[in-house]
Structure 1
């Protein structure tokens, strides 16, 4: 058994010989290498996160935290609008926010306010994302203006408009044939 060495034994002997030679030459490492304690910041935006931050980001990406954000965007819309476009304060209402797509639906009171709102959309989106952290508003959808409900001032304006007489009274010859026949039939009995 002492005659021939196998491949593993030869490798061990070669390793021991190399170690002894390295000790004689003074090229051995006596210290362990230091661990890096600095934080690596990658240029592509990926950087190490703590567990809590990673879970919070994952929940936000999957829409698990969206309902609270939706309520905050809708509840704070008046303050957001006043900060971004103060001249439209009180003239626009937020009606819906879709957290998955980042679309905020708003309704102006007049078409002119809708046009001004479309022009001011980038400022409004930036203000919404600043005022409501985690909202991630990406688009503004301006809906068709809703007619104003009749209040005391609107009712007075409507009655003033309806009390004015038409420019010229309608003559029976201006009516369509079917209407003239219906009026004649009504007067007959």
Structure 2
């Protein structure tokens, strides 16, 4: 066995913990079991009031309606977004597609030089599109090349 002078801090802490546990048992402080959490399930049978958002969602589902996608707004507002960020390209670039899952906005410039300027301005355009159309989540601008046929 070790003597009192050879005990380290860890050993002293263990002894103090054991002494405290024994004292608690003698004083009747039994270990309490944690309370079980119970959850209640609200079942709606048509009589309970619904929140406004839930009522509108249920109505739209029942009637086969879908909420408008943010992508349509991005395509519709691209001209104003472009004019605000890069006014010299206004009317020279057209947004053709927006993929909401990937956040990719496809645009077509009328000249290769306009495409180069679009690529340079892409971070500003993406930021402006996300500010103008909340929930759009545009993450990438993809500049498509317009193929022209020679006559």
Using the size of structure 2 for normalisation, the TM-score is: 0.54
CA contact (8 A) 1:125 1:140 kept: yes
Partner in structure 1 of residue 69 of structure 2:
68
Cα distance between partner residues in 2 of 1:13 and 1:139: 69
Decide whether aligned partners of structure 1 residues 143 and 119 sit closer, same or farther in structure 2, where only a CA change above 3 A counts: same
CA separation in 2, counterparts of 1:12 and 1:112? 84
Q: How far off is 1:146 after superposition?
A: 5.3
Q: RMSD of the TM alignment (CA)?
A: 2.8
**Which structure would you say has the larger Rg?**
1
Gaps in structure 2 of 5+ consecutive residues: 1-23, 30-52, 54-65
**Cα separation, 2, equivalents of 1:85 and 1:125:** 12
- Identify the match of residue 14 of structure 1 among 3, 27, 31: 27
Secondary structure in 2 matching 1:105: strand
Partner of 1:114: 115
CA–CA distance in structure 2, aligned partners of residues 146 and 70 of structure 1: 25
What secondary structure sits across from 2:137 in the alignment?
coil
Please list, as runs of the form range in 1=range in 2, the aligned pairs for 1:13-52 lying within 5 A after superposition: 14-15=27-28
Q: How many residues are treated as equivalent by the alignment?
A: 92
Residue 91 (str. 1) matches residue 95 (str. 2): no
- If asked which structure has higher relative contact order (CA below 8 Å, sep 6+), I would say 2
